[in-house]
Structure 1
Amino acid sequence: MFKQLTPILIALIIAIAGGIYSADVMTREFAGFGALQYGAWVSHPQTGTQDADPYARARAARTGEIALGSAEGLVFIAAHDDQKQIIDASCDYVIEGKTPAARVWSLRITDKNLLPILTQSGAVSGLHSGNTLRNGQNAFKISISSEIADGNWIPQMGNGERRFVLTLYDTSVASTTGVSEIKMPTIKAIGCDNE
């Protein structure tokens, strides 16, 4: 009798462990279907709507994030620069260009799990459209580094992988009609400590 139960128990343990592992990986690494990519920036416009797929809903439940509704805005996340290199805290970056039309936007740095990176004063490491200098064409240049830089600067703290999160609030590109024509700022690495 025990000889017959042993393979069943082994199969059951493998099935349960595999199910838990796959659910963990999917809710940690996969943000859902329907991703839109513009250069290094990726957005999931269905997140926060009735049309969100089960994977997006499971990820939101796991992380506790509150998604913006389609009328509220759109979140773009960059995990790599324009050269397809993973964003790393040991590197300095320049984000340059314009955002799509939006009433307000914010740019912040997070770790790879999208948890905010805090400055030494305890503030979130980021900028918003109200405190960003622009040139005559309404374009900006933002330096992201551990050393203070002239102009727009976001401090790069700690070590490990980073994500740049650009949130557009009250924007027309959240609708499916305007999404195909948007242009996003470029992300360039300008040097790393380990080079």
Structure 2
Amino acid sequence: MRRAFVYLFAVAAGCGIGIGSALAMAGLLPGANPLAFGNVDVDGWRSDFAIGSEAADAYTRARVARHGLLALAKSEAVYFTRTTDDAGQPLREACTYRLTTGAMPAGWWSITLYNADSMLPDNDDAALSINAGQDMAARIGDEIVGQGVGATVAPRRPEGRGLWISSRNAGRFDLTLRLYMPNDALLTDPADVLRPPRIEPLACEVAA
């Protein structure tokens, strides 16, 4: 009887650990971010270069399918995600940030804000993404705003005409950097080639 109990306990523990690890690796646990971990980390911007490649394992494919990433082949695009600011604190709607970046090792790139459910926040600000090409002409939609990229990430539009990424109704959020037509050097040595955007916290609202 004791041996049967030990066998049953071992089977139950194995199933629990197996299912739990599979859910964690696939990014299916509540609150998990599908790109918040991976085999590449450049100054807090994380990526999994297996995404969009033949090397993608079952866990990676599950993350892509479950979260609707629609990942392109690695030669066409690579994805980096940042969940914290330069001070190491989680990105959140109550704070205002200054995002700055220079040229990217890609033909064209974009930065998009997603909420904790990997969805676009529910707002109508039409300011959830910015993009630029190798000419560093920053754009919002089809409008060319200026050379170089410096954007404010905040729940309300800042004064002036600068770039703005709206975090209204986002709660905890992340920023995803997509690099389209990446340079070959980026794929072989990302830490040496990529100079990712900085995210400087400026101010945070104090809860009443």
TM-score range, shorter chain: 0.7 to 0.9
Equivalent-residue separation in structure 2 for 1:159 and 1:139 (angstroms)? 26
Alpha carbons of structure 1 residues 79 and 21: separation in structure 2 relative to 1, 3 Å: same
- Specify every segment of 5 or more residues in structure 2 that has no aligned partner in the other structure, as ranges: 133-138
The CA deviation at 1:112 is 3.1
For residues 132-191 of structure 1, the C-alpha deviation after alignment (integer angstroms, 9 at most, x for no partner) is: 633xxx421101111211311111122532110111112215431576222122111111
Q: After the TM superposition, which residues 136-175 of structure 1 pair with which residues of structure 2 at under 5 Å, given as runs?
A: 138-149=147-158, 150=160, 151-172=162-183, 174-175=186-187
Of the three residues 91, 95, 106, the one matched with 2:95 is 91
Alpha carbons of structure 1 residues 64 and 97: separation in structure 2 relative to 1, 3 Å: closer
Which residue matches 1:116? 120
SS at match of 1:77: strand
The CA deviation at 1:4 is 5.3
TM-score by length of 2: 0.76
- Work out whether 1:190 is the aligned partner of 2:202: yes
* Aligned amino acid, residue 145 of structure 2: L
- For the Cα contact (< 8 Å) 1:94–1:190, is it kept in 2? yes
Of the three residues 128, 153, 160, the one matched with 1:125 is 128
SS at match of 1:103: strand
SS at match of 1:187: strand
The CA deviation at 1:51 is 2.4
The CA deviation at 1:33 is 4.9
Is the strand fraction higher in 1 or 2?
2
Q: After the TM superposition, which residues 43-58 of structure 1 pair with which residues of structure 2 at under 5 Å, given as runs?
A: 43-58=47-62
Root-mean-square deviation (Å) = 2.7
State the percentage of identical aligned residues: 23
- Specify every segment of 5 or more residues in structure 1 that has no aligned partner in the other structure, as ranges: none
